[in-house]
Structure 1
Amino acid sequence: MNWTVAHRIAGIAAVQAHRNLGIDRTRYVPVHQALKAAGVVGMAQPMPRLFGVYFSPADNGPAVLLNANLNIVTQRHTAAHELGHHHLRHRTAADDDLSPALRWGNGSWPDEEKTAEAFAAWFLMPRPAVLAGLDRICQGQPTSPEHVYRLARELGTSYAGTVRHLQHLRLLEANRASQWAKISPAALRTSLAGGSALPADAHVHVVTASSHLQQVHADVGDLLIVRVDGAAFVSLPKGLARWTGATQTASPVEAAMVTDEFSDPVVLEVSAAGRDEPVHLTVVRDSPRAGVHDVWPD
């Protein structure tokens, strides 16, 4: 089976899984909760050489074991990959320490691994959610790699994986996708943060007027940068601290960093010039899961 066929199978399977699990296909997909809804026992613990393991019903499953040491983006992808094994009725499978590049480029993968990997992309990035995000970010047409990075933040996916998926959705032509895939996410984060370097696992979430009534899924160390004319925080909830680290911006920006006091969802309000009401958005903590699924946050 080649990757084209794997994606055709996975695309159909992901739509079926969204329907069966009651997933809203227009927004961020809560994959850990999807595992619970699918009746899959979930557990996460540190594992030095594994991304995750799927145990089929034939081996006392269905259950998945995730690596608790993964960052949230990689763990979300791994969880969706293991859910793909379950939904596609695969055998027990262990996903070992392949590099992110090999996860897509190795043609020797077994068919079940190819379809589970493709399923992860289609499950986490349903077309309606991609289109809605692009509409908010760039009026539907990505014209810079920063647009793709911002979309990845809305979807909770990797930058490189989002570039590839936009090509599969025929929303990004192949040559541009190839060029953009070579750009370092760290360089894009630095650019969006006004030239300031950030911790390796920190992400940058750009807030605009189009962010009104949306959710931001963030973790400790992440940065929220407001790009709205005349923006000012109405107040900063507990767990968000004002950040003044931008060094290359033409004018002061409103920005906040997520601190380790952040736990429960909070509403962030940003006033803006020309708006009768503030921009309201909900900030939700999304960090790697550990332990058993009963204690994973909703």
Structure 2
Amino acid sequence: MVGRSERESILRGIRGAKRLQRDLRLDIGASRAQRVDVFGCIARMGAMLMFQPLEPLLGAFIRENGAAGIILSTRRPLGMQRFTAAHELGHLFLGHDPHADDEGILRRAPWANDAAGMPAVPPEEREADAFASYFLLPPYLIKEQMELRGWNPRNFEQPETVYQASLRFGTSYRATVFALEREHVIGRSLGQQLRNAEPRDLKRQLLGDYTLKNAQRVDVWHLTEQDQGAVIEASRDDLFLLRLKEDSGSGYVWTFDELRDAGFAILRDGREPVPAGQIGAPTVRRVLAHAERPLAGMLTLREVRPWAPDDDPQLLTLYCKTATSDETGLFEPQREELLAAS
């Protein structure tokens, strides 16, 4: 059971996250459906953001001569980096003392000790945990993404759906499960079952016999027609599995010249077997791709009849952006600003 002092720490963290969301206008307009730009928020708060190959630390919040700074490790996947960044931002915004954090912030739940006998979490750490969880995954973001994707609570009974949701939220798989519990989208018992799933296994299930060399750092985006208009913010090494219904019986095929022009390399291209007894039904085109250069812009794929390409094509438009997280040095926008001022 959560003690009163711990509950108060959690509420202080959530109130702080809500206040900063309002101050930065993150809960207004189209941004309600997009992952929170936590690195940009740190810069907007006037703190310098630095990436360094820290080990075993994940990050740190520092103050020196009245100036604030946050350091993040380059040796962790983007989802872990983003949670660490939000945790350190919580320390900054809530007026905490400087602090360094290791993987303990990832292993504990943001609202209570995981199990009896576990050491108590200091109040400032509990506040920063709750701040990070709420700041990265506010209720409106979960609601907007569920509506866009057509997800309902039953969809989240499948760990595969939770993993794909985590990519769109920009959080780790584990942090996503905690947030879904917090908002009562799923129950605590289901949450515990979901936490037993390993993201690396979910990635490999998506890829089949394709070998995934670095299951920790590489994510696999499963894209379908339901992603129409989606903003895809991926790490540089991520893979993209497109599974698109193709009305080949009527002569329609998906074209992927646009994919290549946007900087993707197609690793595999094929069609899934048609189930027995469903001859003539739409097939599923299955394409695995990898971005060979940083992405930034709109990508539109088309399902057309080759002899009449402008005759009522089916479109899939994605807004793709590479979110770099493994380069050492100052946060790029801050570095560019300093260079421009010099």
CA deviations 1:65-97 (Å, max 9, x no partner) are: 222222211111111111111111111111135
CA deviations 1:163-187 (Å, max 9, x no partner) are: 1110011100111111111001011
Percent identical among aligned pairs is 24
CA distance in 2, matches of 1:39, 1:145: 38
Distance 1:285 1:108, change over 3 A: same
- Tell me the SS of whatever aligns to 1:62: strand
Corresponding residue for residue 148 of structure 2:
136
Distance 1:42 1:127, change over 3 A: same
Corresponding residue for residue 197 of structure 2:
183
Which is worse superposed, 138-147 or 69-78? Answer: 138-147
1:90 aligned onto 2:96: yes
Corresponding residue for residue 49 of structure 1:
56
**Runs ≥4 residues deviating over 6 A:** 245-251
**C-alpha RMSD of the superposition:** 2.8
Distance 1:247 1:51, change over 3 A: farther
Q: In the TM superposition, what is the alpha-carbon distance from 1:248 to its structure 2 partner? A: 8.3
CA distance in 1, matches of 2:39, 2:101: 17
Please point out which of 110, 113, 117 is paired with 2:122. Answer: 110
Letter of the structure 2 residue corresponding to residue 206 of structure 1: H
Please point out which of 239, 258, 262 is paired with 1:235. Answer: 258
Q: In the TM superposition, what is the alpha-carbon distance from 1:257 to its structure 2 partner? A: 2.9
Give the TM-score normalised by the residue count of structure 2.
0.77
CA deviations 1:265-288 (Å, max 9, x no partner) are: 132222248974411101110121
Distance 1:195 1:157, change over 3 A: farther
Letter of the structure 2 residue corresponding to residue 268 of structure 1: L
Residues 90-239 of structure 1 mapped to structure 2, 5 A cutoff = 90-98=96-104, 100-102=106-108, 105=114, 107-141=119-153, 142-194=156-208, 196-198=210-212, 199-200=214-215, 201-230=217-246, 232=254, 233-236=256-259, 237-239=261-263
Corresponding residue for residue 299 of structure 2:
268
CA contact (8 A) 1:28 1:155 kept: yes
Q: In the TM superposition, what is the alpha-carbon distance from 1:135 to its structure 2 partner? A: 2.7
CA contact (8 A) 2:262 2:295 kept: no
Distance 1:272 1:147, change over 3 A: farther
CA distance in 1, matches of 2:262, 2:148: 27
Q: Bigger radius of gyration, 1 or 2? A: 2
Corresponding residue for residue 36 of structure 2:
29
- Tell me the SS of whatever aligns to 1:147: helix
Distance 1:277 1:248, change over 3 A: closer
Please point out which of 57, 63, 67 is paired with 1:61. Answer: 67
Distance 1:119 1:107, change over 3 A: farther
CA contact (8 A) 2:91 2:128 kept: yes
Q: In the TM superposition, what is the alpha-carbon distance from 1:252 to its structure 2 partner? A: 5.7
- Tell me the SS of whatever aligns to 1:109: coil
